[in-house]
Every structure is written in C-alpha cells, then in structure tokens.
Amino acid sequence: ALRILLPVTSYSNDRVVEASLGAAIQLGLKHYFKGNVDHLKGVVYREPENEGESWRQYLVIYDTVPGGTGSLKELMRTPDNLLKLLELAYKALVECSCNHDTHKDGCYRCVYAYRDRGRMKYVSRDQARLLLAKILKASAAIRVIDSIKNISLDAMMGSELEKRFIHCLQDNKNFLVSRSYAHQNAGWIINTRTEPAMSWHLKAQVDLGVKEGVGILSRPDYVLYPLMQSEKIKPVAIFLDGFAFHKDSVSDDVQKRQAIKDSGNFWVWTVTWADLQEQGIKHVQNVMGLGHNPDMKQPKFYNPFHDTNFATLEGSFRERNSFALLLDYLSDPGNKTLLWQKMAAAFAWVWLDPKKSQDTGAKQKYAYEMQENASAYRLNALLPDEPFVFGGLLDSCSSSQQFIELAAVVPQQAIKSTTSIEQMRNWLRLHICFDDRYSQDNGYEAGFNGFWWMVNLLQFLPDMTFTSRKAVHLPQKPEAVKMQTSVVVDIQPDESWAEILEFGLLGAEEIALLQSLSLPAPTVGYELQDDDGEIIAEADLAWPLQKQALIIDNQEFTALFASKGWHVAFGPIDENTLQHLSGGDK
C-alpha cells in the first residue's frame, strides 16, 4: 500500500483538501498507467497526534487484486515515478475542457468519479490544481526520511489554527470580514453590522517591542487595530494557543503577554483551540464564582464603591468563552471596556476577606503564598508595608483551587467614605497565578483554558497581573515600565489626506513620513489598466499625476508599471524607499 500524509489537520478538518487531493491522485493513476485503475482503491486513515488534540490524516492507496498487480510497487520504485504521476494529473486538470465553464469546478473527465459519489460534493478541481502545483514546485527539495511519521506538523497546526480563527470570524453573522491589501502586512477589514461606524483592521504576525512600548519582544498571531481613532479604544493583541503546543510554555507566554498589557497600549487576548471548537465554557475551569465573601456583596459595603449591580456584571460574561467575549468587545469596545472594568473591580472587591486579613496566622500564610505565586517586583503591591485587606482563591483563605490561584488586595486606607468609585477601581489589585508544573495531571487542560479566560476578563482592572509558578522562578525582569513610543508622530492637517485618515488606510507614522518628504496624498490601492481597460497590476501607493508608484509585495507588478512610463519603487513604506521614489537613493 502507498500511504500519503495529507496537508490537513483536525484544526481545519478540511474535507475539500482531503477529497480533492484523493481525486487528483486517482486521476494521475489513470493517466500514468494508461488504463483502468479501478483495482486501486483509496481510503483516508487517521492517527491521533499531540495527545489526541489533533490527528494525522493519510490517504492510503492499496491494490484490491489478491497478491497485487505490481502497480504500486512500480510507482514507488523511484521518486520520479510519483512526481510523473502528479505532473500528469496536474496537466489533465489544467487542460480539461471544464475550465472554460465558469460555473464548473470539475467534471467526470477530471476529478469526478462515479464510485466516489459520497465525496463528490467536497471535490474541487481548482483546489486539487493548487495542491498539486505546490507539491510540484517543491519537488527539488524532496529527500529520503525513515518514516513519514517523522514529519512535523507543528507549522501546519499553527497555520490551520489561524485559518480557523478567520473562518470563525467570517461565519459570524454580526461581522463582515474582507481582505485588505492597502497595508504592508496581510490583513482583513472587519466591519460590525450592528454598528457600521465601528471597524477594525486585523493584521497577522505583528512584532511588538520597544517602539510599541512593550518591554519584551513578542509576535502575536494577530493584532486588531480600531479604524476609529479614540483613546478609549485600544488595539487587541491576539494569541491563538493550541493546548499541545502551549501547555509547557506558559511560563514564557505569561511574561510576554504581561509585558504587552503593561505597555498600556493594548489589550492582550488569548483564544484556545477549544474556544474556537466549542460553544460555552464547558471546556473551562471556571472559578470566577468561587471564594466570594457574602459580606462584601451587602449593599452597605458594596454600593458606596460600585454603581452597577453585581448580578448584572456577572451576567456580562456568563457562559461566554474567550472567543465569544472577544467578539463582544469588537462589537462595542467602548462600552465593554467600561463594563468589564466595573466587573473586574466588583469581583476583586467580593474576593476580599477583612476578617482573615486581621488573623496573624492567615496573614503569615498569605505572605508565604505570595512568595510562591508572584515575582519579586509584584510583592510590594501584594504585600504592602501599610495595613491592607486581602482575599481571593488562596490556601490562606481556605479557598484554594487546583491550578488557579488568585489574590485580591486593597490598602486599608482606601476603604473610607470619601473614596470615589473610580478611585476604588484604581486602588484594587488582582494577581492570578497558574500552576504549570504538572501538565500531565488530570484537569490541567481545563485549568489552562480557565486561566487564560480569567486573564482576558480581569485585565480590565488597572492594577492586574498574571504569572505562572514556573515563571516566578525564572530570572526576574525589572518592574514593567509604561514605555513611551520612541517615534513621535506629527501629522499635519491637510484636506487631501482626509479620506486616508478617516478610513485608516495608512498608519499615523506612515502618513507623517510621507508628509515629511513633501509627498502629496497618494491613491491607496491604485489599479493599472491596459489599453482595453483591463486591470493588469496594482500599486499599494500611487501618484497618478506624477506617474509614481510604490509596490510593497508583488514585485512582478513593477515591470508592468515601468512599461507604461511610471517611476516605480519596490519595498516597505520607509524613508529609503520613498527617497528613491521621489528622486534617487539617499
């Protein structure tokens, strides 16, 4: 039998890829052996991968004739034979007459087969052609390995999880998601149907570092930037965590994500594979409702420092997993930010235990816990020299939980009648610690999901931190400083830039750079047409009157613009590229 590892994971469960590649190989067999190959059958076989979180999927081709016909043995005699089969299949797909019918994506002359009626609805000629083209393009890199089991799927898993995230966004009826080509990075524009004025630009693989005020360099899977300029609406750095790949890297992940939060310039949001796969929070260890002090919910204690009913705040996230909560934020970021600030403050308040805080033994136990659960720089806030009240999900409060521990703290001096609601919100402190030492224990995955779910929700409290037991013992980094962006952006008011500013077609730094070089407002996404009016190329930025164009990614378009008498620069939107465009290299 011939076993082929399919470029499919359980993250995508792409039946179109599976069925299309299988049909293409069947077509190749027919052309390679120049005749009927019905004796060769194909079946998809799955093996668990990464502790069952995902699967390896194989297309197994076998000979149904007892003893075999020798066809498969001949096929696998040299790698060139299999490549020849794929080339024949590709040629047949490209040359099939059904390509001329725009309504068809295959026919019985190419990828359809009567004996595969059950899979036919998933078979795509175009998908098969793309898959074969990628394989043939990489044919020079073919090498011998001991077993296809040794092929790592890690890169594909990450890619498929990112695709799954986009698909889940596109499938949500409250959003309109479309590709954007106006910026250097690949991206999408997300429009909110319920609030048309609220739109986002979603960028993939954005580096966040000193320039963005982030103390530890990191690269989120995505960053969401609001197109509406408002100090109240922050961008969101999004991390997509497959459990198998992140269960043992929590200590590194918490440091990078805390640094992003500490910048004050972003919210940081973690979405797990389970959040994209399952509705609700059954996959989450939910400890948000545990360890509350009933006394702190009484009106005489609660109402002076909170202006929203606790049940209302609790209902703002009930049964909503991390992905659903992210969508809630995207729909109404201003109101959700305020609501969840109030929610986080209210929960911090009801976790406080004034009676335990007066008990000498409990205080000593609490201090010991903080030494285990918090980095040195955070201890001053969690164990202040002045009198304070503490509480939470802690052994010292007889409310400790497996995997997730939480401390709530407020200085004693803050609990007085003259303290306003907003002041109390700033006085309250939260710290969450995840026990990442025993990743093989039962319940660890639910704890992992629950920890990041809590971090997503409680980060809206101004003084909130999170870490893990392993991270506490790593070399300590200095207390996060709210860094100022190193680039000062000064955009000059100009009516010709109004549309670009209004719709966020370029970033503030890019606009400032263009203006500093005395370049007028460009046309973003300019389409070059031939003599018949057909679009033949596109420039990211163009100045049609001056016949100047800047192309960021598609270098093949530069020659087309140049052939029409344009002066073209290829590269990122930076000073060197723009100097070349406006008069020469400097």
* Per-residue model confidence as pLDDT tens digits over 222-238: 999 998 777 779 999 99
pLDDT band, very low/low/confident/very high, at 79 (cuts 50, 70, 90) = confident
Query: What pLDDT, in 10s, does the model give residues 349-372?
Result: 999 999 999 999 999 999 999 999
Distance CA 357, CA 19 (A): 64
Please tell me the predicted confidence (pLDDT) of residue 421. 94
Domain regions of the chain by residue span: 2-151, 159-472, 495-582
Query: What pLDDT, in 10s, does the model give residues 197-223?
Result: 788 999 988 899 888 889 899 999 999
Burial tier of 490 (Cβ tally within 10 Å: 0-12, 13-18, 19+) = exposed
Residue 542 parent element (H or E):
strand 535-543
pLDDT band, very low/low/confident/very high, at 268 (cuts 50, 70, 90) = very high
Residue corresponding to tokens 């962006």: 485
> What is the rounded average pLDDT of the residues 301-324?
96
Higher pLDDT, 129 or 3: 129
Mean pLDDT, the chain, whole residue set: 84
Higher pLDDT, 237 or 57: 237
Please tell me the predicted confidence (pLDDT) of residue 479. 39
Residue corresponding to tokens 């499919």: 8
- In degrees and rounded to multiples of 5, residue 280 shows phi and psi of 75, -160
Higher pLDDT, 111 or 453: 453
Q: Inform me whether the pLDDT recorded for 117 exceeds 70.
A: no
Q: Inform me whether the pLDDT recorded for 526 exceeds 90.
A: no
Q: Inform me whether the pLDDT recorded for 485 exceeds 50.
A: no
Q: Per the confidence metrics, is the pTM higher than 0.85?
A: no
Higher pLDDT, 121 or 59: 121
CB 450 within 8 A of CB 288: no
Distance CA 76, CA 259 (A): 52
Between CA 243 and CA 250, with CA 248 as vertex, the angle to 5 degrees is: 85
Please tell me the predicted confidence (pLDDT) of residue 150. 57
Distance CA 171, CA 189 (A): 15
The full 3-state SS of 393-405, as one line of letters, equals: ECHHHCCCCCCEE
